[in-house]
Amino acid sequence: MLKKPLIIGNWKMNKTPEESDDFLQKVLDYEAEAKPNCEIAVSVPFICLSTCIDKSKSSPIKIGAQNCYFEENGAFTGEISASMLSRIGADFVILGHSERRRYFSETSEIINLKVRSAIKNGLDVVICVGESLSEKEKLIADEIILMQTKIALFGVDINSLSKVSIAYEPLWAIGSGDIEKIEKINEMCEKIHRVVDQIYNKGASATMKVLYGGSVNIKNLSKILSKANTDGVLIGSASLVSDEFLKIIEFASKHT
Ligand code: PEP
């Protein structure tokens, strides 16, 4: 791993603004004192965005959303657009999380529209790709990952790749306590880099990051980060408790 590791916490539908304020204060204190050698990002519920953005303003900690809509504005009750996120100062947005694909019927084509809208509005994007257990058993995981990656990046300009991270998250690993085999994670991350090079040109993928997500915790982090093709991690449940999240940051920082 040559780049500074990117550590992203995804809080999902957890925490109130008060709780997010408290959590972020601990991360800010730690960051100011330890100056960790990794990039830290937290993806928070919409209602916590303002609190977190205001609080982290003069720090390197990045704050993002967990979804957005692809239209700029209009009659789309309940939706939040990428331009709205950009206007309130969000740094990034997670798109295509498997929970969005599964529970909210988001297709790869919809995710592609969201990716393009987010990039157009100046946001960084974290695109999640991953195979289900049944796809893994049918030996089509590679095809699923490559297809999801290609569709998500359709129409995205090569110059925007530095704004893109792709998180390889096998669906069966999320929240299960089990991570994918390290060799497989490494292989998938390498394949994602290779397909991006194929879409654009050789070396194009060097500017983007490829992450792993799915039951990452302090115990398995060293194995994941030691692999050359993994530029960081996307963390769900282990990012909800500040002490645990800070231990992960501390470890990742020393590991570079
Ligand atoms: C996720 O939902 O993106 C995730 C990685 O969750 P967990 O770490 O809890 O498996």
- Using alpha carbons, select from 43, 40, 44, 56 the residue that is nearest to residue 7: 40
**Domain assignment present for 199:** yes
Question: What tokens appear for 255 in the block?
Answer: 């590991």
Is 19 a known active-site residue? no
CATH number of the domain where residue 106 is located: 3.20.20.70
pLDDT of res. 229: 86
**Domain assignment present for 111:** yes
> Which residue(s) pair with 212 in the sheet?
168, 233
234 CB under 6 A from ligand 1?
Answer: yes
Q: What is the pTM of this model?
A: 0.96
66 CB under 6 A from ligand 1?
Answer: no
- The domain in which residue 218 lies consists of 6-254
- Using alpha carbons, select from 26, 5, 4 the residue that is nearest to residue 240: 26
The catalytic residue among 106, 135, 169, 180 is 169
**Domain assignment present for 121:** yes
Task: Report angle CA 190, 149, 166 to the nearest 5 degrees.
Answer: 65
* Digit-coded pLDDT (tens) for 158-203: 999 999 999 999 999 999 998 999 999 999 999 999 999 999 999 9
236 CB under 6 A from ligand 1?
Answer: yes
Q: How many domains are contained in the chain?
A: 1
**Domain assignment present for 118:** yes
pLDDT bracket for residue 254 (50, 70, 90): confident
DSSP readout, 190-248?
Answer: HHHHHHHHHHS-TTGGGGSEEEEESS--TTTHHHHHTSTT--EEEESGGGSSHHHHHHH
* Digit-coded pLDDT (tens) for 211-233: 999 999 999 999 898 877 899 99
**Domain assignment present for 229:** yes
Q: How far is CA 34 from CA 38, 48, 235, in A?
A: 11, 25, 21
Q: Does the pLDDT of residue 121 top 90, yes or no? A: yes
Distance from the alpha carbon of residue 236 to the mean position of ligand 1, in angstroms: 4
Q: Which of 235, 241, 244 to mutate to test the pocket of ligand 1 (most atoms within 8 A of CB)?
A: 235
Distance from the alpha carbon of residue 144 to the mean position of ligand 1, in angstroms: 19
Question: What tokens appear for 234 in the block?
Answer: 């996307």
Q: Does the pLDDT of residue 255 top 80, yes or no? A: no
Distance from the alpha carbon of residue 9 to the mean position of ligand 1, in angstroms: 9
- Using alpha carbons, select from 130, 127, 177 the residue that is nearest to residue 152: 127
pLDDT of res. 51: 98
pLDDT bracket for residue 72 (50, 70, 90): very high
Distance from the alpha carbon of residue 245 to the mean position of ligand 1, in angstroms: 13
* Digit-coded pLDDT (tens) for 143-160: 999 999 999 999 999 999
Mean pLDDT of 10-39: 97
Is 33 a known active-site residue? no
pLDDT of res. 256: 65
Alpha helix locations (H) across the chain? 17-34, 49-56, 82-87, 98-103, 108-120, 133-137, 141-152, 182-199, 221-225, 242-254
pLDDT of res. 146: 97
The whole-angstrom separation of Cα 147 and Cα 143 is: 6
The residue whose CA has the least distance to atom 3 of ligand 1 is 236
- Find tokens 């953005």 and name the residue: 53
Q: Which of 234, 240, 245, 248 to mutate to test the pocket of ligand 1 (most atoms within 8 A of CB)?
A: 234
- Find tokens 């609190």 and name the residue: 51
* Digit-coded pLDDT (tens) for 28-65: 999 999 999 999 999 999 999 999 999 999 999 999 99
- Using alpha carbons, select from 9, 61, 63, 11 the residue that is nearest to residue 36: 61
pLDDT of res. 2: 55
The whole-angstrom separation of Cα 212 and Cα 129 is: 10
Distance from the alpha carbon of residue 177 to the mean position of ligand 1, in angstroms: 10
Phi, psi of 100 (to 5 degrees): -70, -40
**Domain assignment present for 1:** no
pLDDT bracket for residue 133 (50, 70, 90): very high
The residue whose CA has the least distance to atom 7 of ligand 1 is 236
Ligand 1 atom nearest 173 alpha carbon: 10
- Using alpha carbons, select from 229, 140, 139 the residue that is nearest to residue 189: 229
The catalytic residue among 31, 39, 97, 106 is 97
Asked whether 182 and 224 are in contact (CB, 8 A), the reply is yes
Task: For the chain, give the mean pLDDT.
Answer: 96
